[in-house]
């Protein structure tokens, strides 16, 4: 059986973070493992509080997994602090996993900062250069490389600028722009548009986590990058279509099998 490791934050409401990642791995027939970077007290409405996990425990979790189990692919989500990003980067340098999919989580849908502002430079300098693929949404790409992204041409320029930070490939998600959610994949050489149709629902909590985990699972299962991304887009589209109206806020998309 193929395996995947998520390095991310816990969402007590079960809609995003580690919980979404492990469900997506299972849905793809991949054995999931986790390194927890932070615990969030969260539901479909809000993030109430965040406790970062001590760096020695993050390092120990990484070593416990990699020293014993073959890891076919890694997904990185919420890193929370600069120190956590540095700790994760050092462990990845040591173990050199074949695939690293980076979802550069910054702010929750409710507006809570999941990456401290002073951690952006650690993300750029230490983590992005190790990414096989980075999956920013438009606001994240604006923080990373450009002030404003509005047009398809802006998206192309942003992909090139993010690749210049050292990521081997970039999937820039267009869902925050008006119209249909068309994503742009740059694999280091070519651009491919991954088109979608807007689904009108408020139940989109954890979509970014679920998409990046589905890509990670597909890579672990041996699919090419383009197939991994295209299949994951189909998967998240179905997951949003069948999202749950749980809670009073943004319902989850990650129960889909």
The DSSP line for 52-66 is EPPHHHHHHHHHHHH
Nearer Cβ to ligand PLP (142/192): 142
Residue 204 appears among annotated catalytic residues:
yes
Per the residue annotation, which of 124, 173, 175, 251 is the catalytic one? 173
Largest CA-CA distance found in the chain, in angstroms, rounded: 47
For binding to ligand PLP (CB under 6 A), which residues are involved?
Answer: 8-9, 11, 16-17, 40, 42, 77-78, 105, 108-109, 114, 205-209, 250
Residue 173 appears among annotated catalytic residues:
yes
Nearest CA-CA partner of 108 in 13, 35, 24, 217: 13
Per the residue annotation, which of 44, 208, 216, 233 is the catalytic one? 208
Residue with nearest beta carbon to ligand PLP = 17
Helix (H, G, I), strand (E, B) or coil at 209: helix
Residue 70 appears among annotated catalytic residues:
no
Residue 135 appears among annotated catalytic residues:
no
Per-residue tokens: 103: 């979802």
- Strand 47-52 versus strand 191-194 pairing type: unpaired
Instruction: Let me know how long the chain is.
Output: 257
Nearer Cβ to ligand PLP (12/26): 12
Per the residue annotation, which of 15, 124, 209, 216 is the catalytic one? 209
What does the alpha-carbon distance between residue 160 and residue 219 come to, in Å, rounded to a whole number?
Answer: 23
Nearer Cβ to ligand PLP (37/221): 37
Residue 179 appears among annotated catalytic residues:
no
Active site amino acids: 173, 204, 206-209
């Amino acid at each position: 059986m193929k395996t995947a490791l998520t390095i991310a934050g816990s969402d007590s409401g079960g809609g995003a973070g580690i919980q979404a990642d492990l469900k997506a791995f299972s849905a793809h027939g991949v054995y999931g493992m986790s390194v927890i970077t932070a615990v969030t007290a969260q539901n479909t409405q809000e993030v109430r509080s965040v406790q970062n996990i001590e760096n020695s425990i993050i390092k120990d979790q990484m070593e416990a997994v990699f020293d014993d189990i073959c890891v076919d692919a890694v997904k990185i989500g919420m890193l929370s602090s600069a120190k956590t990003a540095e700790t994760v980067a050092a462990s990845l340098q040591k173990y050199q996993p074949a695939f690293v999919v980076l979802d550069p989580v910054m702010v929750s849908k409710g507006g809570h900062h999941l990456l401290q502002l002073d951690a952006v430079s650690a993300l750029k300098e230490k983590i992005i250069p190790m990414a096989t693929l980075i999956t920013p949404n438009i606001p994240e790409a604006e923080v990373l490389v450009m002030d404003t992204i509005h047009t398809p041409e802006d998206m192309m320029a942003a992909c090139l600028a993010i690749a210049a930070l050292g990521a081997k490939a970039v999937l820039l998600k267009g869902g925050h722009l008006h119209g249909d959610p068309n994503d742009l994949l740059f694999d280091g050489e070519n651009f491919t548009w991954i088109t979608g149709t807007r689904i009108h629902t408020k139940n989109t909590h954890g979509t970014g986590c679920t998409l990046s985990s589905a890509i990670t699972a597909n890579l672990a299962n041996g699919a090419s990058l383009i197939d991994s991304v295209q299949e994951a887009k189909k998967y998240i589209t179905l997951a949003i279509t069948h999202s749950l109206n749980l809670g009073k806020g943004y319902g989850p998309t990650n129960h889909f099998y």
